[in-house]
Amino acid sequence: MALCYSNICFCYTDFFELCKSLNYEFHQFSQERIELIYRMFKERYQALAVDPRIKYIQIYKNQGLFAGASQEHSHSQIVALPMVPLHVTIPASYYQQNQKCLLCSIMEQEQENGERIIYESEHFLLLSPYASRFSYETWIIPKEHKEHFGDISEKEISDLARTLKTFLTIMLDSLSNPSYNIVINTGPVNGVSSEGAHWFMEVNPRFIVTNGFEMATGYYTNPVAPELSAALLRQRMLENHQ
């Protein structure tokens, strides 16, 4: 664990992935090893959430150069922050205006339409979000409404490990092994309202670096429509399960 501290802010950072061999990539791990990794994520999340100074816990993985990986071997990171990222407040604003969860509403709408759905497991829905920032961006959303990743159940961990391993293998094979980011979005902790929050995971293939326009405005240019992304990945997932 690394601890960064100043009179302005502090953060805790964990690096781990229980690598048995530095030659293995994350999607090559067994389902059991991936389950162990996400069980450790849950334990570290719960341990960090006890510290009242911490307001948000970010779990993420950078794989490959375009995804910003800082080390050659496969690894993931947890960063605990004393402030809440601005985008995390969006679900709360939606809830205050509509008295319902934003992610639950998105899942309901996408299931009615179906064209951006990639796969549905027992506990998770995989979809290409409307107005995706990145080509083949995929969200993995738990069907059961839970504000915090730390509340994930054992059954959900097993289902997530199985689904994520299958999806990553198919995505990397279909898209010629791109760099990618895995990000877990979750509700804030310790006195900051998590009203309307619904934790979920993003898997974002990275084919090009972020350009000046995107950095300056926060508006992303994506040349691949989410409907086309979903169609390709859905077909490959269906073929895998036949």
Q: pLDDT tens, 97-152?
A: 999 999 999 999 999 999 999 999 999 999 999 999 999 999 999 999 999 999 99
Q: What is the CATH number of domain 2-240?
A: 3.30.428.10
Contact of 119 with 128, CB cutoff 8 Å: no
DSSP annotation string for 127-192: E--TT-SSTT-EEEEESS--S-GGG--HHHHHHHHHHHHHHHHHHHHHTTS-EEEEEEE----TTS
Report, as an integer, the average pLDDT of 67-95.
Answer: 83
With 0.75 as the threshold, say if the pTM is over it.
yes
Positions marked catalytic: 75
Contact of 83 with 55, CB cutoff 8 Å: yes
pLDDT at residue 190 greater than cutoff 50: yes
Pairing of strands 76-81, 10-16: antiparallel
Report, as an integer, the average pLDDT of 13-27.
Answer: 64
Q: Domain map of the chain by residue range?
A: 2-240
What pLDDT, on the 0 to 100 scale, is given for residue 66? 57
pLDDT at residue 56 greater than cutoff 80: yes
What pLDDT, on the 0 to 100 scale, is given for residue 1? 46
What pLDDT, on the 0 to 100 scale, is given for residue 124? 98
